Amino acid sequence: MRALIQRVTRAEVTVADRLIGRIDAGLLVLVCAMQGDSDDAPAKLAARIAGLRIFRDDAGKMNRSVADIGGAVLVVSQFTLAADTRTGNRPGFSQAEAPARGKALYLDFADSLRALGLPVQTGEFGADMQVSLVNDGPVTIWMDSADRN
Annotated catalytic residue 93: no
Of 94, 115, 111, nearest in space to 103 by CA: 111
Distance from C-alpha of 67 to C-alpha of 101, rounded to nearest angstrom: 29
Which member of 35, 80, 93, 130 is catalytic?
Answer: 80
The separation between the first and the last C-alpha atoms of the chain, rounded to the nearest angstrom, is: 12
Annotated catalytic residue 79: yes
Q: Which residues, in sequence order, are bridge partners of residue 32?
A: 2
Which member of 78, 109, 121, 122 is catalytic?
Answer: 78
**CA–centroid distance for 39 within its chain:** 17
Relative to beta strand 26-32, strand 72-77 is parallel
Annotated catalytic residue 78: yes
Which member of 55, 79, 109, 122 is catalytic?
Answer: 79
Residue 136: what are its φ and ψ, rounded to 5°? Answer: -90, 115
Enumerate the active-site residues: 78-80
